[in-house]
């Protein structure tokens, strides 16, 4: 072990990732993996809190892993693993359940939203989702958790649970802090630029997926909603459409928003939208071909998952052992 701080994050292997996920999560992880002792998980146990097609879930687990690696997440630098491969997640979750109140879970915003959307299947796992997430983070004694705004409440609960346990026994868990990164900008829907780009938008032209081919990407950008006036300037209040396109361009070109404004000064919206589309498509093409290459190499993927699971299980096992000891589980 070195003296780097520990960082934990995870993404569910469901749905297709959008360029918003790339900007908000993956592009940040690429930088973080050099400075922190990172654990990145594929949260398939969280995924089953809403019904999944088994064959698809299996396939998406692999394709997401391949995608991470294709984007530049390096399994030699960080611990990249699949959540269900490390039994300690379910085990710690069970213990933490006894430190979590039903009332506080019922009040979670995401639980209320998802219960409404999946009214036919409001299962215990859906309600327990935040506790499993707390177990994920606390097992690795993570100091930092880079997450989006939508996960803020879940992170708060993880902190509460950690503190509660530490107070009842003695310091056991590191109390994690959220890393709400400013860089990597929030990316909004191309058709409704005041809303976050989501995996499941009503209008499929509003979201650009990392798996979209070149023509699709360019078509979606050509159709992107712009604003009145003709100036290409960053002003999210008055020009949400143009500002969103500038943010996207900035993430995918590596230039700052100011540089982008200068570059497009005096040019028309049509030309601008095409340039943004081409920049995104140029960035996605090599990622997609690398992902396909990795996906075809099952031996390599299995080895990555095996190594990741072993490393994760070792770290998680240390925490779980301490917890079991403190709560009075007889050890053999
Ligand atoms: N709930 C997170 C999401 O949907 C994914 C997740 C699972 C996670 N476990 C985590 C994120 C632990 C951070 C830390 O985005």
Task: Show Cβ contacts of residue 227 under 8 Å, excluding neighbours closer than 6 positions.
Answer: 238, 239, 240, 241, 242
**Domains contained in the chain, CATH given:** 6-180+298-327 (3.40.50.620), 204-292 (1.10.240.10)
Whether the per-residue pLDDT at 182 is higher than 70: the answer is: no
| pLDDT for res 1 | 52
Cα angle 156-160-162, degrees, rounded to a multiple of 5: 115
The Cα–Cα gap between 302 and 85 comes to 12
Compute, in angstroms, the gap from residue 133 CA to the centroid of ligand 1: 6
The Cα–Cα gap between 86 and 310 comes to 8
Q: What are 107-138's pLDDT values in tens digits?
A: 999 999 999 999 999 999 999 999 999 999 99
**Which atom of ligand 1 is least distant from the CA of 154?**
1
The Cα–Cα gap between 11 and 25 comes to 9
Helices 269-295, 54-71: axis angle to 10 degrees equals: 110
Q: Identify which has the larger pLDDT, 176 or 185.
A: 176
| pLDDT for res 203 | 83
Q: What are 197-219's pLDDT values in tens digits?
A: 987 767 889 999 999 999 999 99
Active-site residues: which are they? Answer: 114, 196, 199
Whether the per-residue pLDDT at 15 is higher than 70: the answer is: no
Hey, which of 44, 46, 110 would you mutate to test ligand 1's pocket, going by the most ligand atoms within 8 Å of its Cβ? Answer: 46
Q: Which residue has the tokens 């491969």?
A: 85
The Cα–Cα gap between 90 and 243 comes to 43
Hey, which of 154, 173, 177, 181 would you mutate to test ligand 1's pocket, going by the most ligand atoms within 8 Å of its Cβ? Answer: 154
Task: Show Cβ contacts of residue 131 under 8 Å, excluding neighbours closer than 6 positions.
Answer: 93, 96, 97, 100, 105, 157, 161
Pairing of strands 37-42, 177-179: unpaired
List, in sequence order, every residue forming a beta bridge with 39; answer none if it has no partner: 8, 79
Compute, in angstroms, the gap from residue 138 CA to the centroid of ligand 1: 12
Helix (H, G, I), strand (E, B) or coil at 15: coil
Whether the per-residue pLDDT at 171 is higher than 60: the answer is: yes
Q: What are 39-96's pLDDT values in tens digits?
A: 999 999 999 999 999 999 999 999 999 999 999 999 999 999 999 999 999 999 999 9
Smallest Cα–Cα separation from 314: which of 79, 62, 44, 130? 79
The Cα–Cα gap between 29 and 78 comes to 10
- Asked whether the whole model's pTM tops 0.85, one would answer yes
| pLDDT for res 212 | 96
Retrieve residue 184's tokens: 């990597």
Task: Show Cβ contacts of residue 157 under 8 Å, excluding neighbours closer than 6 positions.
Answer: 100, 104, 108, 130, 131, 134
Q: What are 286-324's pLDDT values in tens digits?
A: 999 999 999 999 999 999 999 999 999 999 999 999 999
How many residues would you count in the chain?
332
249 — alpha (psi -120 to 50), left (phi > 0) or beta? alpha
Compute, in angstroms, the gap from residue 41 CA to the centroid of ligand 1: 9
| pLDDT for res 72 | 96
How far CA 116 is from CA of 53, 97, 110, 113, 190, in Å, comes to: 21, 23, 10, 5, 26
How far CA 7 is from CA of 30, 134, 176, in Å, comes to: 13, 13, 9
Smallest Cα–Cα separation from 146: which of 175, 176, 110, 185? 176
């Amino acid at each position: 072990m070195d003296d780097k701080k520990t960082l934990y994050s995870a993404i569910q292997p469901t749905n297709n990732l959008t360029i918003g996920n790339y900007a908000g999560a993956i592009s940040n992880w690429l930088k973080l993996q050099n400075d922190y002792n990172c654990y990145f998980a594929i949260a398939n146990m969280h995924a089953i809190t809403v019904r999944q097609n088994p064959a698809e879930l299996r396939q998406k687990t692999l394709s997401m892993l391949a995608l991470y690696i294709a984007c530049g997440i390096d399994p030699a630098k960080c611990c990249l693993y699949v959540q269900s491969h490390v039994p300690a997640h379910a085990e710690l979750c069970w213990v933490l359940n006894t430190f979590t109140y039903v009332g506080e879970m019922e009040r979670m915003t995401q639980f209320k939203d998802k219960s409404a959307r999946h009214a036919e299947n409001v299962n215990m796992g859906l309600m327990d989702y935040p506790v499993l997430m707390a177990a994920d983070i606390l097992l690795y004694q993570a100091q930092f958790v880079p997450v989006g705004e939508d996960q803020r409440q879940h992170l708060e609960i993880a902190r509460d649970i950690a503190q509660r346990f530490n107070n009842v026994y003695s310091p056991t868990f590191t109390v994690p802090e959220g890393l709400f990164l400013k860089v990597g900008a929030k990316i909004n829907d191309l058709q409704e630029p005041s809303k976050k780009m989501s995996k499941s938008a009503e209008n499929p032209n509003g979201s650009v997926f990392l798996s979209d081919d070149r023509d699709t990407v360019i078509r979606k950008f050509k159709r992107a909603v712009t604003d009145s006036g003709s100036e290409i300037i960053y002003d999210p209040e008055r020009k949400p459409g143009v500002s969103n396109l500038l943010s996207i361009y900035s993430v995918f070109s590596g230039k700052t928003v100011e540089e982008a404004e200068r570059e497009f000064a005096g040019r028309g919206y049509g030309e601008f939208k095409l340039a943004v589309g081409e920049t995104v498509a140029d960035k996605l093409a090599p990622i997609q071909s690398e992902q396909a290459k990795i996906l075809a190499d099952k031996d390599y993927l299995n080895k990555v998952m095996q190594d990741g699971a072993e490393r994760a299980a070792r770290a998680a096992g240390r925490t779980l052992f301490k917890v079991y000891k403190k709560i009075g589980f007889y050890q053999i």
